[in-house]
Amino acid sequence: MAEILQKDGTWVFDGDALRLTPGRDKNVSLLRKALGELVVPLGALAGVSFEHGKKTGRLRLRLRDGSDPLLHATGGRLAEPHDPYQLVVESDRYGVAEYFVDEVRNALLLDQVPADPVEAYLLPGPAVPLSVSAGDGTASFDGEQIRLEWNWKTEDAKAAAGTRTLALTDLTAVEWYPAAGLENGHLRFTVKNAPTKAPPKYDPNSVELWGFKKDPLMALVAAAVQARLPHPATASKDVRPPEPQALAAPATAAEDSHDALLRRLRELGELHRTGVLTDEEFTLAKQAILKRMR
């Protein structure tokens, strides 16, 4: 097991999954605190890295495309303080961070986890029900319906329509954009057969965001909805994605048996002989297998 504890959070890797827990430090973002602990199955990872800095470094996880509804709904627009897959590391723990990276990389190599996109979500998304107030309204989601309520800052034309209720079955997409520069952000729901190009300020299916502290929390609503919409890879096939819990099930005992590990060793030896693996990669992978055989 590999573990790193920092003010920014705690990451633990047990060989099958990573457990990411946000820290309680005042600098930890509201989004990460609200999201809470994440359990990321090894099969959802595409890579891991550690970046050195003069005062602090940064651990980064790269997930396979389509594995996490939060990343899909936010489209890479989460700023660094809000990204749950980054961890700030103090300089006196650089060695621990490097060891952590080696352990995860060895496991990815040992389990031959591909880096290509997946066709079903491997993480469940934020828990429901949830409700967030930001910008010109409040967005609530109970797993089946979205409720949009307006406040005194809402444009009159949009507020005049009153509280808006959208059924999940009537939606085709959800998107979250943060405010950037002079451009406001938004949380927008796309309703079947009702496309619109109206600015979020006037769109009754959108919450306009102005760049305030609670704006990133709207990404949680977007992710919770996205997790319950058809996966982008299967939407065109009209296939309902399997439950994330089933996809994230740990390997069976048979898969981790002595014979299976011996077979992995032979496969690694062949990859080394043919030049696919470097000497260093082969040694690290072999050590990881031998640990499991003890």
66-97 confidence digits (pLDDT tens): 999 999 999 989 998 999 999 999 999 999 99
30 beta partners: none
SS3 content of the chain, % helix, strand, coil (to 5): 35, 25, 40
Amino acid present at 72: H
Is 93 in contact with 8 (CB distance < 8 Å)? no
Q: What is the pLDDT of residue 271?
A: 64
Q: How far apart are the C-alpha atoms of 9 and 84, rounded to whole Å?
A: 10
pLDDT of 118 above 90 = yes
H runs (alpha helix) in 189-276 = 218-226, 244-247, 258-273
Q: How far apart are the C-alpha atoms of 44 and 127, rounded to whole Å?
A: 19
pLDDT by residue (tens digit) across 32-41? Answer: 999 999 999 9
Percent above pLDDT 90 for the chain? 70
CA 260 to chain CA centroid, Å, is 31
H runs (alpha helix) in 58-93 = 69-74
Q: How far apart are the C-alpha atoms of 5 and 182, rounded to whole Å?
A: 38
Q: How far apart are the first and last CA of the chain?
A: 14
The answer to which of 110-119, 139-148, 229-238, 240-249 has the lowest mean pLDDT is 240-249
pLDDT of 262 above 50 = yes
Is 59 in contact with 83 (CB distance < 8 Å)? no
Categorize the per-residue pLDDT at 48 as very low, low, confident or very high, splitting at 50, 70 and 90: very high
